[in-house]
């Protein structure tokens, strides 16, 4: 299936700043393809879209002094289309099915997570660089947070870690 694109308007090199400046826009309610073409002529925006994307859609009336992209947003409001910047052009595409329709249910695939728990003991191994248990101060397997004195443990992993 061939995809044909309609290119409306053109932004000369270095004119991007002008495209963001407010412009006088006067677009009557009309088919969306014609409204986009009129917007491109009035503002200099370069719009790319497949004719099938805008077929059968109606563009609302938009008028006043506004930034061209603001006028474009008003034209596309409620159409199910989004604007994606691509270089100096703006590509108009159908919005992905990001929001399920009201009343529609979405079923997610179950996710099962399995892991082997590494039980740290006073005699090792240490899971990472910070020990949580030690037998140094109490001569028993006691969590460091319950030891009534300051204990510093330097695990083997920290000693042999590269760059230290």
Q: pLDDT digits over 116-152, tens only?
A: 666 777 777 776 677 767 777 677 777 777 777 777 7
Closest CA to 39 of 12, 72, 17: 72
Q: Average pLDDT, stretch 11-35?
A: 73
C-alpha–C-alpha distance, residues 38 and 40, integer Å: 5
pLDDT band at 44 (very low <50, low <70, confident <90, very high): confident
Q: What is the pLDDT of residue 12?
A: 44
Q: In this structure, are residues 50 and 3 in contact, taking their beta carbons and an 8 Å threshold?
A: yes
C-alpha–C-alpha distance, residues 38 and 27, integer Å: 7
C-alpha–C-alpha distance, residues 6 and 58, integer Å: 17
C-alpha–C-alpha distance, residues 77 and 32, integer Å: 11
DSSP state of 102: T
- 142 vs 69 pLDDT, higher one: 69
C-alpha–C-alpha distance, residues 93 and 80, integer Å: 9
What is the reported pTM?
0.51
Q: Which tokens in the block code for residue 120?
A: 């740290």
- Lowest-confidence pick of 20-24, 51-55, 151-155: 151-155
Closest CA to 7 of 43, 72, 51: 51
30 has a pLDDT exceeding 90: yes
Give the other-Cβ count within 10 Å of 21's Cβ: 10
Q: Which tokens in the block code for residue 80?
A: 């199910």
């Amino acid at each position: 299936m061939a995809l044909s694109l309609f290119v409306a308007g053109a932004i000369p090199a270095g004119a991007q700043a002008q495209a963001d400046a407010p412009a006088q826009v006067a677009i009557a309610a009309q088919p969306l393809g014609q409204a986009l073409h009129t917007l491109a002529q009035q503002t200099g925006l370069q719009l790319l879209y497949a004719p099938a994307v805008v077929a059968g859609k109606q563009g609302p009336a938009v008028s006043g002094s506004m930034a061209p992209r603001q006028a474009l947003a008003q034209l596309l409001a409620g159409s199910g289309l989004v604007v994606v910047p691509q270089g100096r052009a703006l590509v108009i595409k159908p919005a992905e099915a990001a929001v399920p329709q009201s009343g529609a249910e979405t079923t997610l695939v179950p996710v099962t997570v399995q892991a082997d728990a590494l039980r740290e003991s006073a005699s090792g191994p240490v899971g990472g660089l910070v020990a949580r248990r030690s037998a140094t101060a109490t001569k028993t397997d006691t969590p460091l947070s319950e030891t009534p004195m300051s204990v510093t443990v330097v695990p083997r992993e920290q000693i042999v870690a590269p760059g230290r």
